[in-house]
Amino acid sequence: TSAWPGLIEAYRDRLPVTDGTPVITLFEGGTPLVPAPTLSDRVNAEVFLKVEGANPTGSFKDRGMTMAISKAAEAGAQAVICASTGNTSASAAAYAVRAGMVCAVLVPQGKIALGKMAQALVHGARLLQVDGNFDDCLELARKLAVDYPVALVNSVNPDRIEGQKTAAFEICDVLGQAPDIHCIPVGNAGNITAYWKGYREYARDGVVDGTPAMFGFQAAGAAPIVLGHPVLKPMTIATAIRIGNPASWTQAEAARDESHGVIDSVTDKEILEAYRLLARKEAVFVEPASAASVAGLIKSSKAGRVPAGATVVCTVTGNGLKDPEWAISGAPAPVTIAVDAHSAATELGLA
């Protein structure tokens, strides 16, 4: 049949799997590359959105998790652990169910979106809220994975990067070439590392002619790579990328430098403007962190960094339903009416 087989089967020859690897899949990947006409007009380029919220648990993490959990199963692991700002824990919890494993997650207390918390809980993860930030959670998870029989499935696990690099393959497969510019939010910096690996592999093997310039964007209150030093108290409404000391810092800098790209910051105001533009003009509902790629594209265009007519892909990393707070607080409160057609018509401006 022609049904999408999941990314491990789709790209088996480019992934570290063998016939002996049990494939733990929810048929992730194969996500839409959606043209963005309003954005294209705005920046005078041809802009596409890689809509990663269309993955099974609603974020790009599923790409990394199908690989990480499959490899953990191959190695005989019975339990996995991760630190998370929410999406990794949601994904790990779901794939652990599929693999029959126990899943433990460490999240910063009060700083993960409600939808993500719901996902981890409904899939039966053992969730601990840590009185600290994501960076503290990751340090703790790494220690536990060394001292106890539990496999770490954060993006410091190379299998995660392998799975996530397939998004770059899909983009090239659809476009028939690599884009000129790839815009992506940066938190712990695993995803920019993964895309850059994927693009390089396709170019090396002659599947496409070149590689894009990688444009990574951190939130201004959590922009250690832009500032050149860790941020002890990272702050941003984009909780998914509220990270002060990214684990893949050097790999992100390498992606930037080797691709002749940039890593820049965007303010929460710019993030929310891009978030609303995506919903109102492109009909794509993302979570705030995801809008950082688009906010960054708009900022880069204003700074003259986007050549006219360039092909640009923005990864929008997670589904808007995970974090509805900003959708609701930014909208006028709905009006309540009686069961009455005339009042409805009046309120709707039809009468």
Return the structure tokens found at 72.
């953990």
Of the listed pieces 66-74, 184-192, 269-277, 305-313, which binds ligand F0G according to CB under 6 A? 184-192
Query: Applying CB under 6 A, which of residues 31, 133, 155, 245 lies at the interface with ligand F0G?
Result: 155
Q: Which is nearer to ligand F0G, 181 or 291 (CB)?
A: 291
Q: Which is nearer to ligand F0G, 6 or 244 (CB)?
A: 244
- Asked if 241 and 218 touch (Cβ cutoff 8 Å), the reply is yes
* DSSP H helical ranges for the chain: 7-10, 37-43, 61-74, 87-99, 114-122, 134-147, 158-164, 166-175, 190-204, 224-227, 249-258, 268-281, 291-302, 325-329, 341-347
User: CA 171, CA 51: separation in Å to the nearest integer?
Assistant: 11
Query: Applying CB under 6 A, which of residues 25, 66, 157, 191 lies at the interface with ligand F0G?
Result: 191
For position 287 contacting ligand F0G by CB under 6 A, the verdict is: yes
Of the listed pieces 35-43, 285-293, 330-338, 342-350, which binds ligand F0G according to CB under 6 A? 285-293
Count of residues of this chain found to bind ligand F0G when the rule CB under 6 A is applied: 22
Contact letters (x/-) for ligand F0G, 297-336, by CB under 6 A?
A: --------------------xx------------------
- Asked if 60 and 195 touch (Cβ cutoff 8 Å), the reply is no
Return the structure tokens found at 16.
């570290």
Query: Applying CB under 6 A, which of residues 157, 290, 300, 301 lies at the interface with ligand F0G?
Result: 290
For position 51 contacting ligand F0G by CB under 6 A, the verdict is: no
Shortest separation between residue 288's beta carbon and ligand F0G, angstroms? 8
Query: Applying CB under 6 A, which of residues 187, 198, 244, 296 lies at the interface with ligand F0G?
Result: 187
Q: How many CB atoms lie within 10 A of CB 257?
A: 12
Q: Which is nearer to ligand F0G, 305 or 322 (CB)?
A: 322
Q: Which is nearer to ligand F0G, 133 or 188 (CB)?
A: 188
Please provide the distance, in angstroms rounded to a whole number, between the alpha carbons at the two ends of the chain. 52
- Residues in contact with 204: Cβ distance below 8 Å, sequence separation at least 6, in sequence order: none
Contact letters (x/-) for ligand F0G, 64-93, by CB under 6 A?
A: --------------------xxxxx-----
Three-state DSSP at 68 gives helix
Query: Strand 181-185 and strand 151-152: pairing?
Result: unpaired
Of the listed pieces 1-9, 143-151, 259-267, 287-295, which binds ligand F0G according to CB under 6 A? 287-295
DSSP 19: T
Phi, psi (5° rounding) for residue 277?
A: -60, -45
For position 241 contacting ligand F0G by CB under 6 A, the verdict is: yes
Shortest separation between residue 57's beta carbon and ligand F0G, angstroms? 10
Q: How many CB atoms lie within 10 A of CB 150?
A: 21
Q: Which is nearer to ligand F0G, 48 or 195 (CB)?
A: 195
Which amino acid is located at 229 in the chain?
H
Q: How many helices (H) and strands (E) does the chain have?
A: 15, 10
For position 59 contacting ligand F0G by CB under 6 A, the verdict is: yes
Binding residues for ligand F0G, rule: CB under 6 A, are: 59, 61, 84-88, 155, 185-191, 240-241, 287, 289-290, 317-318
